[in-house]
Amino acid sequence: MTGFITAILVLSALVLVHELGHFIAARRLGVGVLKFSIGFGPRVWSVKRGQTEYAISAFPLGGFVKMVGDSEEERAPAEGADAAPSEPPPDPATSFEHKSVWARMLIVGAGPISNIVFAIAVFWVVFMAGVPTLLTEIGTVQPNYPAADAGLRPGDVIAAIDGRPVGTWDELTEVVHASAGRAREFTVRRGSETLALSITPRPSPSATVFGEATTVGLIGITPAERFVTRRFGPVDAAWQSLRRTGEIMELTIVGIVKIFQRVVPAKTIGGPIMIVQMAKQQAQLGVMNLVFFSAFLSISLGLFNLFPIPVLDGGQIWFLLAEAVRGKPLSRRTREITQQIGLALLVLLMLFAFYNDISRNITGDKGF
């Protein structure tokens, strides 16, 4: 139950960030907002402030911002209507449809962008607060590997490679993995001594994060599990947050491409059940892990909404690009057909994700 509540809170927060992006952009560009809802389905709570109704609905797996002029019913009264409308028609100046293509594109894109900006902000705060960093002290040395042959011992600290300082185990791993078959000069601290040892990482078969076969260099050591809290100043933290966000975006996009290339099995696609399970796992590992997971999920949500599927923000952006090129919007019929196709694809994807989630729980195969 704790994992479920944690996942709901995380998802609701990310949906709120997404919809706030649309809401703020619309208001700043002079578009009236009729309804701002977190969740779908039956209304749990609502309040009206000015023109806008703010609501929380029963199903938290999404949300929406309803703007003036974003439906045919609001743009014009029904044909043949005899009675006057109960409210005056909306001012065209506040209508979404009456704004320029580029203004509408900015409003539509503001949701996914907000999710990505949110992740950058989270990483920025985390890097300034401090992140646990694994040091380069050696815990074990495996026999018959280059490290043992060169005389490395448990407790040694690798300070530099070829004169380049290495302060974290990640930095050390990156250099060693990229140096298969090439001799490197290791600067090693052993107590009060400083040693210079030539070590050639052994080419060894491995696999990428996507399961593709590759070759990396190994020297046969494991870390001593000594951590320090590494804090960054505001400028360095900003750079680190941008770098980390870019890495996750690249990894996510490449992963999607690999699924279509059948390099990554489609069973790795997960849905709400997997999100709940992962949120529970990360919460058990500590607040910092949950925060990083939330930022990662925010990036994934932002990128997913940029997919060129008509019912998503990305599909709406493509409609607007087509309108900018043609000089007029696509026909209502064309938009309806493509949106129906997009909705069908989205429903199929969600059903497939649910199937994977249930299958993983039945078979015990995590699939990721």
**Those residues with Cβ within 8 angstroms of residue 89's Cβ, 6 or more apart along the chain or in another chain:** 77
Angstrom distances, CA of residue 361 to CA of 117, 354, 365: 34, 11, 7
Active-site residue numbers? 19
Q: Contact 218/176 with Cβ under 8 angstroms? A: yes
Q: Contact 15/36 with Cβ under 8 angstroms? A: no
Both tokens of 142, joined, read 């495996």
| Distance, CA of 348 to CA of 288 (rounded, Å) | 34
How many angstroms separate the most distant Cα atoms in the chain?
95
The amino acid at 234: P
**Those residues with Cβ within 8 angstroms of residue 283's Cβ, 6 or more apart along the chain or in another chain:** 2, 3, 6, 289, 290
| Distance, CA of 84 to CA of 98 (rounded, Å) | 23
Matching residue, tokens 């994060």: 209
